[in-house]
């Protein structure tokens, strides 16, 4: 008898603990989703509904005109979105290409000084990039790339960190596969392009999505180099609207919603890869 009450109590304790756990998790989830809900609500509300004294949870007649106003040919928001798409895509692809080839060279080509070159490159990670943004601006200005997309893209292409991750991945690559490629008459580049890369899709997608999101969301560098409206990224455009004298509140949130959508889609589709990429980035120091 005593034993059953004991078991009962233990089970009740476990159930109670689970209820508490889920209560905490659901509460936190609502808190974490709140900002996204605010973006959506504000984007579909009128100014009066957003700032009205009566709190409106969700407009009964969503105001799609905020979004529609952004979607015309001469819209600065669309222009900025396009700039961001070009910058993030080119930067990501170029970064992967440069980092993967260098990573492979360092991992597999038995050059005498490979280690010295590797350590020299790795040493540059010691200097925080945002701290050198003034002299990097000087270099980009000397190249005549101020107010060009190229100026925004190029300094972000050469990521020693991405190279480092690729090198680690290639060090673990099965040598037998490479050997088989060599027996088929492939040179080092052939082995790299036809054997190693096709079998390294996981790490490439992981690093690529992370890089794309960081590039899309980046703010300081595009603000410094792309001051002209024609080179605004979506983040610079949003910041300019946010800090303008005659702020269009629903318009700001409609544009925010538009800017978040592509990344959100990418995020939900590739979440597993992104998580993988984050785990690898966790090594960064």
Chain-centroid distance of CA 235 in Å reads: 13
Is-contact 67 43, C-beta < 8 A? yes
Indicate whether 68 belongs to the interface with another protein (CB under 8 A).
Answer: no
Q: Which is nearer to another protein, 199 or 244 (CB)?
A: 244
**Is residue 275 within 8 Å of 207, Cβ to Cβ?**
no
Nearer to another protein, 160 or 205 (CB): 160
Name residues contacting another protein, limited to 69-88 (CB under 8 A): none
160 counts as binding another protein under rule CB under 8 A: yes
Q: Which phi and psi angles does 89 have, rounded to 5°?
A: -70, -50
Shortest separation between residue 281's beta carbon and another protein, angstroms: 8
Q: What is the distance of C-alpha 242 from the center of its chain?
A: 22
Interaction mask 200-229, another protein, x per CB under 8 A = -------------x--xx-xx---x-----
Q: Which has the closest alpha carbon to 260: 3, 43, 62?
A: 43
* Binding segment toward another protein, per CB under 8 A, in 2-10, 70-78, 151-159, 175-183: 151-159
Q: How far is CA 186 from the centre of its chain?
A: 35
Among positions 88-147, residues that touch another protein (CB under 8 A) are: 98-99, 101-102, 104-106, 109-112, 114, 117, 121, 124, 126-128, 130-139, 141-142
Instruction: Pull the structure tokens for residue 209.
Output: 């999505």
Residue 206: burial class (beta carbons within 10 Å; 0-12, 13-18, 19+): buried
User: Among residues 1, 4, 5, 35, which is the contact residue for another protein, using CB under 8 A?
Assistant: 35
Question: If binding is defined by CB under 8 A, does position 28 make contact with another protein?
Answer: yes
Give the single-character DSSP code of 125.
Answer: G
Q: Which CB, 2 or 268, lies closer to another protein?
A: 268
Measure the CA–CA gap between 232 and 224, rounded to whole angstroms: 10
Closest CB to another protein among residues 30, 180: 30
Nearer Cβ to another protein (1/138): 138
């Amino acid at each position: 008898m005593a034993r059953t009450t004991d078991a009962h109590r233990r089970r009740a304790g476990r159930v109670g603990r689970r209820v508490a756990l889920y209560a905490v998790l659901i509460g936190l989830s609502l808190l974490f989703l709140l900002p996204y809900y605010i973006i959506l609500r504000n984007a579909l509300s009128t100014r009066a509904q957003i700032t009205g004294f009566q709190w409106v949870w969700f407009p009964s007649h969503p105001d799609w005109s905020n979004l529609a106003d952004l979607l015309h040919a001469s819209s600065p928001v669309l222009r900025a979105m396009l700039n961001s798409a070009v910058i993030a895509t080119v930067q990501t692809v170029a970064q992967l290409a440069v980092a993967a080839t260098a990573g492979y060279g360092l991992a597999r080509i038995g050059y005498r000084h490979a280690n010295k070159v590797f350590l020299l490159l790795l040493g540059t990670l010691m200097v925080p990039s945002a701290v050198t943004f003034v002299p990097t601006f000087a270099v980009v200005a000397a190249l005549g790339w101020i107010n060009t997309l190229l100026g925004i893209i190029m300094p972000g292409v050469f990521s020693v960190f991405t190279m480092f991750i690729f090198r680690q991945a290639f060090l673990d690559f099965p040598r037998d596969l490479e050997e088989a490629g060599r027996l088929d008459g492939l040179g080092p580049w052939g082995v790299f392009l036809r054997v190693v890369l096709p079998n390294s899709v996981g790490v490439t997608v992981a690093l690529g999505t992370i890089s794309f999101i960081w590039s899309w969301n980046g703010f300081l560098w595009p603000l410094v180099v792309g001051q002209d409206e024609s080179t605004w990224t979506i983040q610079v455009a949003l910041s300019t609207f946010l800090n303008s004298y005659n702020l269009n509140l629903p318009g700001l949130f409609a544009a925010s919603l538009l800017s978040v959508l592509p990344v959100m889609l990418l995020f939900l589709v590739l979440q597993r890869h992104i998580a993988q990429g984050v785990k690898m980035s966790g090594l960064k120091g």
